[in-house]
Amino acid sequence: MAAAAAISAPPRPPRLALPLHPSHTSSAAPPPMRALPILRGRLRRLTTAVHAVKQDAAVWTPAPVSAVGAATADGSIFHVAVDLSDAADLADSYTSPGQYLQIRVPSGGGEELKPAFMAVASPPGAGARFEFLVKSVPGTTAERLCGLRDGDVVELGAVMGKGFPLERITPADAAQTVLIFAAGTGISTIRSLVEFGFGANERADVRLYYGARSLNTMAYQDRFKNWESAGLKVIPVLSQPDDSWKGERGYAQHAFLRAKNIVNPSSTGAVLCGQRQMQEVRTFVVSGSL
């Protein structure tokens, strides 16, 4: 088995892809990890717990919000951008797609909320600005972030994680097929990966299966054309579409399993960012039962 990129979501940021989102569990037993080199965005719950314990000793960098706006038609997910013009060291420490950090919103005398883990959605090297994709959840820091205005100040922790191990699908010949799976806000890390660049145009087949309830809950639709011009085929998969939808239905991983069109599993990489159940894709690729 050649390069695979199994990125699960980060610890409770956008259910970030390096374990992150919910769904049905797969009955298939996962194969040995050595059989499938997968791109793992090495975020783990244990790491999250350790950093939570050390939270009080962490260094927090204040930075102003430069933009907040709806990222989906239904207004359940927001774009939040933070200006790092006065925090160059923090901006420079972000070097690999899939990295994440903690964000907290000063209470101003109100209730203190736990910091939120957020994956950086903008690619490394994009300038003195971090962008995030945030789902508003009542009673959380995420909800406060979505309600901020330009100029409001947030506090950012250090950039964490090693990000996606892109060396496992480099050079392009090592993984001529790259399968990317994302659900919900897990698409934030995929955006950072795609816009950072990993030679999609140099590969034979690069597909993104992007799962959401409906088009109204799907972010980054305005970026699809640019992504496709860079060599990525975007396949939206809706779990609760209306009757007019003619595309894929159900879950992202199941849309792929229905297609089963992999030319050479030994030169196939997989990037998983969302539901745990996406791991069944790895099982099928490794076993060769496609």
Which tens digit of pLDDT belongs to each residue from 217-261? 999 999 999 999 999 999 999 999 999 999 999 988 888 888 877
pLDDT at 91: 97
Task: Read off the tokens for 285.
Answer: 């690729």
pLDDT at 76: 95
Q: What is the percentage of the chain residues whose pLDDT exceeds 90? A: 62
The structural domain count of the chain equals 2
Task: Read off the tokens for 253.
Answer: 């991983």
Closest C-alpha among 174, 165, 105 to residue 140: 105
Judge if 149 and 172 occupy the same domain: no
Which structural domain, as residue segments, surrounds residue 97?
61-159
Judge if 153 and 172 occupy the same domain: no
Residue 244's SS3 state is coil
Q: What is the pLDDT of residues 68-105, one digit of tens each?
A: 999 999 999 999 999 999 999 999 999 999 999 999 99
Angstrom CA distances, 284 to 67, 100, 146, 253, 287, stand at: 42, 29, 39, 11, 5
Last residue of a domain, one of 101, 129, 159: 159
Q: What is the pLDDT of residues 127-160, one digit of tens each?
A: 999 999 999 999 999 999 999 999 999 999 999 9
Strands, DSSP E only, in 58-189? 61-70, 77-83, 100-104, 116-119, 129-135, 153-156, 177-183
Question: Is 27 contained in some domain?
Answer: no
Q: What is the CATH number of the domain that holds 220?
A: 3.40.50.80
Indicate if the alpha-carbon torsion angle 207, 211, 215, 216 is positive or negative.
negative
Last residue of a domain, one of 141, 159, 177: 159
Judge if 96 and 194 occupy the same domain: no
Last residue of a domain, one of 107, 133, 159: 159
CA distance linking residue 212 with residue 119, whole number of Å: 18
